[in-house]
Amino acid sequence: MTATYLDRILAAHREAATLDARPLTPLVDQALAMDPTRGFRAALAACDGLAIIAEVKRASPSKGLLAADLDPAHLAVAYEAGGATCLSVLTDEAFFQGSAADLRAARAGAGLPVLRKDFTVSALDVVDARLMGADAVLLILAALDDAEATEFLALARTLDLDALVEIHDEAELERAVQLGADLVGVNQRDLVTFEVDTARAMRLASQMPPGVVRVAESGISGPAEAAALYDSGYHAVLVGEALVTSGQPTAGVAALRAARPR
């Protein structure tokens, strides 16, 4: 069976994790001493209308470089001016050309809560998210077994981090519910074919229990798609590539925000 992009990325991250010999406890203590986070989930839940998580994304494995001169702080300011509720910042270096420095710059540039968008495979990854200034961490259930997901979710909560638990299908939704996830993202992109399946995302939204903040991710290129997802029950959409490549990030966010006002 041909390895997917996710397989290759996770293999690289897990190999790096096995080589990371830093002791966890001192880093947890350092993280616990930091100022409170900005409340990623709370911001989405309180948003009037469709919340936009605008992403700082330099490149992707499938399309290569998206923005040669991307300035994270400048882009964050532009997103905030357009009405973004939160930010997402890619910090994976090898495959997405991101960095912790990008996250720090974006968070310093705007007053919005920030998601560390990366491939969390160890407890150190969770702590690193907090130490670099993130307000939320991404947990991809397709990449984690139940023991890992439980451990990382508990650690995130200890560190005052929200956890965006990402799913792709009904089986993963059931796992997320059993974990007690209260912030769930549905990645519309198939992990094998990389095709976008909006129908699946809409179907999964209706199956989520009350109290779960629902986020649709990937393949959202404009207001019409955002409006359809909002109508199906999503509180927020996460949009990166379409905004980064538009040349008009402020207007792009504003258009998405206007898709379905309350």
Share of the chain above pLDDT 70, in %: 96
- 217-230 burial, b at 16+ Cβ within 10 Å, e below that, comes to bbbbeebebbbbbb
Report the residue count for the chain.
Answer: 262
| Domains in the chain with CATH codes | 39-257 (3.20.20.70)
User: Which residue type does 1 have?
Assistant: M
pTM listed for this prediction: 0.94
Separation of alpha carbons 157 and 132, rounded Å: 16
Phi, psi for residue 56 in degrees, rounded to 5: -95, 110
Confidence at residue 139, expressed as pLDDT on a 0 to 100 scale: 98
At 243 the pLDDT is 94
What residues are annotated to the active site? 55, 57, 117, 166, 187, 217-218
Lowest mean pLDDT among 43-52, 57-66, 120-129, 244-253: 57-66
Per-residue model confidence (pLDDT) at position 1: 43
Q: Between 206 and 1, name the one with better pLDDT.
A: 206
pLDDT in tens, 106-148: 999 999 999 999 999 999 999 999 999 999 999 999 999 999 9
Higher pLDDT, 218 or 141: 141
